[in-house]
Chains A and B, each alone.
Chain A
């Protein structure tokens, strides 16, 4: 069972919020990972530089932490590679279709009090809770 860590959770969350605030204050952009990555995958996107830079920043964070002795993130994942691939497809397709994920709708959308984002967040949270309930307590139970 994994530890409940409210203090590091809140502190890390504050850093996520700081990054979202700074990206808007400095570049005028919403820190939504889906929109940033998805824009790169569209042929007609003109502004690629800042998108690539943000993604490189995300990947650089654990590499810099590793310089100070932190282990590289190699998380334990549930399920077979087939299930993981299906999950990845659903996450990629769904976030693009719904125009956002946990960062864009969840963090930035709630911070803007966007009705659209709040609705989306409640829906994907509910779908995820239902999926875990079925996987762990119906099928796996």
Chain B
């Protein structure tokens, strides 16, 4: 059941991305182009998404457990660290270059156009590269004195 529920959630998420126009990189780039012909659509998408998600999360907070699993896995980190900032900068540059982020990339994969296939392959390579090498790029320099503290931090992914 959790797997079926997850599939249906992915389906609804994908439908939302398609209906909102966020699978179209030109529309996304239109929002990011503050100094050009600005297209505010993405702000309305975010408003709708955050409002409904926040309502659902408020209901979840009042429950003791999710329907199909043992417990809620809320992200449990509050610290703002170097990887959060550095990763967000790198992601932002890539997003600005292509107008595609991970969710729309996967929805667009259904069309199997060459640019999207190249983008998704590179994105997966980037993720694997970060899994393999990313942690060593910054920790020795910036976080070495606090290595033990960092290692003890809970590391449940934000997203």
Contacts and interface: CB of A to CB of B under 8 A. Distances in A.
A54 B83 contact: no
Contacts of A89: 94, 122-123, 125-126, 129
* Chain A binding surface, main DSSP class: helix
A133 B24 CA distance: 19
A91 B107 contact: no
A41 B124 contact: yes
Q: Is the interface of B mostly helix, strand, loop or mixed?
A: helix
B50 A101 contact: no
Contact of B52 (A6, A17, A66, A133): A17
Interface string A98-141: 11111111111111101111011101111111111101110000
A60 B50 contact: no
Interface string B5-24: 11111111111111111111
B95 A91 contact: yes
B12 A99 contact: no
Nearest to B86: A97
Given A41-B124, A95-B127, A129-B96, A50 B3 contact: yes
A135 B33 CA distance: 10
Interface string A37-79: 1110110000001110111111111111110001011111111
A136 B25 CA distance: 14
Given A38-B127, A53-B7, A57-B13, A26 B75 contact: no
B13 A116 contact: no
A33 B46 CA distance: 15
Contacts of B65: 28
Contacts of B69: 27-28
A18 B25 contact: no
Given A6-B44, A81-B115, A111-B57, A37 B86 contact: no
Nearest to B24: A75
Given A53-B6, A75-B25, A123-B85, A88 B98 contact: yes
A1 B24 CA distance: 12
A17 B10 contact: no
Given A53-B7, A78-B25, A100-B158, A20 B119 contact: no
A11 B49 CA distance: 9
Interface of A: 1-35, 37-39, 41-42, 49-51, 53-66, 70, 72-79, 81, 83-112, 114-117, 119-121, 123-133, 135-137
